[in-house]
Amino acid sequence: MKSILLASLCLTCKFIPHIVPFIMQTEKAKSDCSFIHLCQPDLCKSCGACCGLYNYADSGREALVRRLRWRTALFHEIVKDSENLEHFSNLIRGTEDQTRRYEVIYCCEYLGFLDPAEKRVGCLLHPLQNQGRDLRGVSFYGQELCDGHFCPSYHYLSSEEKRTLIAVIDDWYLYGLCVTDIDLVKAYFRLVSDGLFATPRPEKIKMEPMRSLVLKFFELKLVWPYRDPAVNRLGKYYFDGAQYMIDRIDYEALGCEKSRFDPIFLSLSSRFKSREELLAAEKIIQGHVDAFIEAYSSCS
């Protein structure tokens, strides 16, 4: 159970071998033609969360771009054969800052950019990057886990939720943060579905202004004014050395009832200093939900 729980941290998906039954389950689903590939959904974005992308102490966009750009260039320059991989690994680990948010989770040095436009993050050891040679055997997790692992989002997000995220987000940094945040996606869908008395259809969400409205909501991950800036926070989790915990908002101390938006606030790593801040935050979320419901309802 702990493994599944840990695997639900977007950082840890490839951490634990106990997830094999889950892998087999997903392998079965993969043969289904309705299977939606969340890791590399299209040419405009991808996710690298379970390779440790967001587990660096500085996981801001600029820092990650610098890191991935440098190691991708180095990989193409010095890795001509599998024999060069150890040298590459030593160079990366010797020159890059290795400070992690959560020390238990590995940050893989082979995660880089897959395309010159730097739109997709992914594995530099993958056969598609190496003229068909699969080099993942040298990695920390090994070829089998790297190849076969599918995170809990594959299982828990509905087809509509997956297709919506893929349709509205074309930014690898934001996409990886959102596709792995099951609570945030589910809470948003629940709120808008309750307001519409139906599940919104991804085909319709792709149209404007719905697409922009959904994107604006998920962009709260990047611009949320009440986000706790602590390095040891990510989404609803906080870390203490080798321990991780789920945060809790102390509503009593704020003189309030538990907010109806609690799961969203936790996903956004919120820290409120006062009741007024909490009320203002609720207003922001309600505004996003209402705007979507109104646009969706008035669009035939």
Binding site for ligand SF4 (CB under 6 A): 10, 13-14, 38-39, 47-51, 108, 110-111, 123, 125, 136, 139, 141, 146, 149-151, 153, 179-180
Q: Residue 243 — φ and ψ, nearest 5°?
A: -105, 150
Angle CA 73–13–130, to nearest 5: 35
In angstroms, what is the minimal distance from the CB of 110 to ligand SF4? 4
In the bound state with ligand SF4, the residue whose beta carbon lies nearer, of 13 and 295, is 13
**Location of structure tokens 């990057």:** 129
Q: How far is the CB of 242 from ligand SF4 (least distance, A)?
A: 20
Q: Which is it for the CA torsion 70, 141, 123, 65, positive or negative?
A: negative
Nearer to ligand SF4, 123 or 210 (CB): 123
Q: How far is CA 173 from the centre of its chain?
A: 8
| Residue 37, CA atoms < 13 Å, CB-side half-sphere | 12
Q: How far is the CB of 197 from ligand SF4 (least distance, A)?
A: 31
Q: Which residues of 259-285 are buried (b: 16+ CB within 10 A; e: fewer)?
A: bebbbbbbbbbbebeeeeebeebbebb
Is the CB of 169 or the CB of 285 nearer to ligand SF4?
Answer: 169
- Shortest CB 246 distance to ligand SF4, Å: 18
Beta pairing partners, 45: 42
Provide, rounded to whole angstroms, the least separation between the CB of residue 177 and ligand SF4.
Answer: 10
Q: At 47, phi and psi to the nearest 5?
A: -125, 145
Least distance in angstroms from the C-beta of 273 to ligand SF4? 32
Tokens for 293, please give them: 């419901």
Query: Of 169 and 210, which has the nearer Cβ to ligand SF4?
Result: 169
What DSSP line would sit under 146-205, residue for residue?
HHH---HHHHHS-HHHHHHHHHH---HHHHHHHHT-HHHHHHHHHHHHHHHTSPPPHHHH
Between 151 and 192, name the residue whose CB sits nearer to ligand SF4: 151
**Minimum gap (Å) between residue 111 Cβ and ligand SF4:** 4
The residue (of 48 and 200) whose beta carbon lies closer to ligand SF4 is: 48
Q: Which residues contact 220 (CB under 8 A, 6 or more apart)?
A: 268, 284, 288
Cβ-based nearer residue to ligand SF4, 107 or 281: 107
